[in-house]
Amino acid sequence: MLYWTLVFLVIAIIAGILGFTGVAAAAAGIAKILFFIFIVLFLITLILGRRSTPPV
Q: Parse the chain into domains and list their residue ranges.
A: 2-48
pLDDT digits (tens, 9 = 90+) for 3-35: 888 888 888 888 888 888 888 888 889 888 988
Q: How does residue 54 score in pLDDT terms, banded at 50, 70 and 90?
A: low
Distances (CA, A) of 48 to 6, 23, 37, 52: 26, 37, 16, 8
Phi-psi label, residue 31: left if phi above 0, alpha if psi -120 to 50, beta otherwise = alpha
Q: Which residues contact 30 (CB under 8 A, 6 or more apart)?
A: 8
| DSSP 8-state code for residue 56 | -
